[in-house]
Amino acid sequence: MSKVKVDQNAADFIYMDDIHQPTHDKNLWNARMKRDTAASGIPEWEQMRDLASQIKEHTLTHLDHYVQQFVTEATKRGVTVHFAKDDIEHNQTVYDILKSHHATKIVKSKSMLQEECDMGAFLEARGIELIETDLGERIQQLSGEMPSHIVMPAIHKTTADVAELFARTIGTDPNEDDPKQLTEAMRNNARPKFLEAHAGLTGANFAIAETGAFVVCTNEGNADLTASIPPLHIASIGIEKILPKTKDLGLFIRLLSRSALGTPATRYTSHFMGPRESGTEMHIVLTDNGRSRRLGMEDFWRSLKCIRCGACMNTCPVYRRSGGLAYGATYSGPIGIIIDPTFDESKFSELPFHSSLCGSCSEVCPVRINIAEQIGLWRQRMVNINESSKTLHYAFGAVEKVFANPKLFRLAEKAAYYGMKLTPNWLLYHKKLNAWGKHRELPEIKKETFRDWYIKNRLKK
Amino acid sequence: MRVGLFIPCYIDAIYPEVGIATLELLERLGVDVVVPLNQTCCGQPMGNEGDQKNAASSEQLFCDNFENFDYIVGPAGSCVKHVRMHFDAIPQTKKVEHVRKNTYELVEFLTDILQVKEFPWATYNHKVAVHNSCSAIRGLHIQSRSEWQEPYFNKTEDLLSKVEGVTIERITRPDECCGFGGTFCVTDEAVSVKMGQDKVADYMQHEVTCIVSPDMSCLMHQEGIAKRQKAPLKFVHIAQVLNNGPF
């Protein structure tokens, strides 16, 4: 698989026009600001983050126990629980359930796990008609794109983009770009599909070991329709979504939407506790897809604490300039940088380098994942397995000898002044020699270094 | 108190005046300052890129140079953060532990160790914006983190407010990364530049004339962008303001 060239993709987003990137930045920065305001209204916010982190770490370090308990309790409630070790098993399991129910038309609400498994393409290739019911996901489905953000999948698009897309795909007036009207048009287009659907697919935000119930949080209510109208409900749940007890939920519900969008809670926080009535079925596909392997990675297992709020993306200055599609992966932004390489180290080897290491992601994370630190550790990993940029890596071999030897270093400083005159690249010996000067003036290397001055003015006096 | 002055490589070569200001300031404050002449680079460029193998010799040399000082002070937050928090490419001997624990960034050294109350020799008649680097904020914690629900503080602002003539203006996104990020500024040129341009636009919108920072590396990037845009902004290190020059 070829490497994702995240820096080039980001440059394309920035230079596309004067509208998309600035709008993207502004909208997500606003989400971060709203999050700050919402968090500031809760005096115990920092303790909540501590507690949430501890609960997640406890659960993850006793996951075998809690998975078993969850399955036992869910089964008692009349739910059929399936295990899937990877994306292929997940998709095949979902397909087999659909097939055995002769379900060919399905509606689904947002599930990052189903995205991760590329389930849509798998089912469509087998003749299943699948409709995304989350507005953002539907926009992405109609565009043939991955979600660019885990909470706001189409946030990289402008309302004009959506107007054009809807005009082309669902027949709205191309001149209508009022968000309310567009939302209404999409609703009207989607509602009949709920009534026709043979099955509804959802994800889950939390699964409760104690009760075997699971919780889905949305703002559009689409998951509720998806789960409540068709006779068959299939929920895809990653094993890391489990919490021990119902009483743990309050904490996570309070953290989730405040961190994501700055609202006290999602508009719909729906608890699913078994099939609705006789004649309906509920299935859970409990999926690993690399999670247990990640749990065994000493440096990276804490990424499993993630509750998919997207706060790290909203705060990330690099993500806001890059757009989520630049990452070429299911998960983008800081959390994507530390999760994606666990799926494919070679394909995503440049992701950890697409960060200014500002550290805001770690500070905003509601479950205190050490995201920035893990980005640094992924860089080390990429260097150790020779997946990092060859030009940089070899260059450091040369520069290391200079830095390790004070005499060579002085010579290099003088050479920089007299000879190369003048790029800070002399510090790096970087091959992209032009990269500094394209949009920046070069600093001036002084003839008299501080050390020269010090010798002259302090030691020789 | 014997202090080893840590002058990062790029300050030595590009901003000697910042080194001079830092040295003179510490001397004025009665500190016994020595500059080890064999210092080169702390190893941050390699360490940040994940290249521990090539960071090791720089880290070792740094510790050799500074092991015999009570404190090591450097006018650069990101380099100091590297020493204190990421010097792990080499074995963690007692010597290394001593160096890591006692290496201070200038603003925190003035605030927490020397507890300087006034700079009567300094005047700076400018409306300034303060730029604390990400390393200094989220690593060294010289400023409260906007992500946290914690009381506001800003050690850089506190020091600057003791200088006659300084007016501090807070920009819209004061702790947004400017996009320097070490090697990131060349490996991810488009994003780095856009972040810098947005930072410069924020300064212009707030009509400041001068940006003061304890981190010259961020300013090297920001100044490069401002100059290219012909934006009338001055970029100075806080040591220059507190010492009343040289500029």
DSSP string, chain B: -EEEE---HHHHHH-HHHHHHHHHHHHHTT-EEE--TT----SHHHHHTT-HHHHHHHHHHHHHHHTT-SEEEESBHHHHHHHHHH--SS---HHHHHHHHTEEEHHHIIIIIS-----TT-EEEEEEEE---HIIIIIS-SB--TTS-----BHHHHHHTTSEEEEE---SSTTS--S-TTTHHHHTHHHHHHHHHHHHHHHHHTT-SEEEESBHHHHHHHHHHHHHTT---EEEEHHHHHTT---
Q: Which residues fall within 8 angstroms of residue A135, CB to CB, at 6 or more apart?
A: A154, A183, A186, A220, A222
Give CA–CA dist B21/A339, Å, rounded. 45
Residue environment code for B128-149, b if the CB has 16+ CB neighbours within 10 A, otherwise e: bbbbbbbbbbbbbebbbbbbbb
Asked if A392 reaches chain B (Cβ–Cβ under 8 Å), the answer is yes
- The architecture that CATH gives domain B2-112 is 3-Layer(aba) Sandwich (3.40)
CATH class of B118-242: alpha beta
Smallest CA–CA distance, residue B168 to chain A, in Å, is 22
Does the CB of A438 have a partner CB in chain B at under 8 Å? Answer: yes
Q: Least CA distance to B52: which residue of chain A? A: A380
Residue A424 three-state SS = coil
Show residues of chain A in contact with B57, CB under 8 Å. Answer: 400, 403-404
Tens digit of each residue's pLDDT (9 = 90 or more) over A178-212: 999 999 999 899 889 999 999 999 999 999 999 99
The pLDDT score that the predictor gives to residue A26 is 98
**How many percent of chain A have pLDDT more than 70?**
95
- CB atoms A438 and B35 under 8 Å: no
What's the DSSP call for residue A420? I
How many residues does this entry show for chain B?
Answer: 247
Q: How far apart are CA A78 and CA A275, in angstroms?
A: 7
Question: Cβ separation of A45 and B220 shorter than 8 Å?
Answer: no
SS3 A242: strand
What confidence score (pLDDT) does residue A433 get?
54
Chain A contact for B189, CB < 8 A? Answer: yes
pLDDT in tens, A138-165: 999 999 999 999 999 999 999 999 999 9
pTM of the model as a whole: 0.95
pLDDT on residue A398: 72
A444·B14 Cβ contact <8 A: yes
Tell me the C-alpha distance between A384 and A387, whole Å.
8
Residue A403's pLDDT is 83
pLDDT at A429: 47
Domain residue spans in chain B? 2-112, 118-242
Chain A residues in contact with B149 by the CB 8 A cut-off are 39-40, 42-43, 45-46
Q: pLDDT (tens digit, 9 = 90+) per residue, B218-227? A: 999 999 999 9
pLDDT score recorded for residue B144: 98
Whether B2-112 and B118-242 share one fold: the answer is yes
pLDDT of A390: 58
Q: How confident is the model at residue A451 (pLDDT cuts 50, 70, 90)?
A: very high
Whether A216 has a pLDDT exceeding 90, the answer reads yes
Q: Is A322 on the interface with B (CB under 8 A)?
A: yes
What mean pLDDT, rounded, does chain A reach?
93
pLDDT of A393 higher than 90: no
At A428 the pLDDT is 45
What is the per-residue pLDDT for A392? 63
Print pLDDT tens along chain B (247 aa): 899 999 999 999 999 999 999 999 999 999 999 999 999 989 898 888 888 988 999 999 999 999 999 999 999 999 999 999 999 999 999 999 999 999 999 999 999 999 999 999 999 999 999 999 999 999 999 999 999 999 999 999 999 999 999 999 999 999 999 999 988 998 899 999 999 999 999 999 999 999 999 999 999 999 999 999 999 999 999 999 999 999 9
Nearest to A318 among B49, B135, B191 (CB): B191
Check if CATH label 3.30.43.10 holds for domain A43-289.
no
Residue A7 distance to chain B (closest CA, Å): 6
Structural contact between residues A345 and A322, judged by C-beta atoms closer than 8 angstroms: no
- Which of residues 35 through 64 in chain A touch B, CB cutoff 8 A? 36, 39-40, 42-43, 45-46
Q: What is the pLDDT of residue A431?
A: 45
In the 3-class helix/strand/coil scheme, how is B128-158 assigned residue by residue? EEECCCHHHHHHCCCECCCCCCCCCCEHHHH
**Contact yes or no for A45 and B149 at CB 8 A:** yes
The residue that leads in pLDDT, A344 or A392, is: A344
Say yes or no: A26 contacts chain B, CB-CB below 8 A.
no
pLDDT tens-digit readout, A322-345: 999 999 999 999 999 999 999 999
pLDDT at A422: 46
Burial-class residue B40 by CB neighbours within 10 Å (0-12, 13-18, 19+): buried
Domain ranges of chain A: 1-41+311-388, 43-289, 397-459
Over residues A95-101, the mean pLDDT reads 98
ipTM of the complex: 0.97
The confidence score (pLDDT) of residue A317 equals: 98
- Please name the residue that has the structure tokens 């090297």: B220
**Burial of B62 by CB count in 10 Å (0-12 exposed, 13-18 middle, 19+ buried)?**
buried
Q: Residues 85..124 of B with a Cβ closer than 8 Å to A: which?
A: 86
Question: Which residues neighbour A447 within 8 Å (Cβ) at sequence distance 6 or greater?
Answer: A417
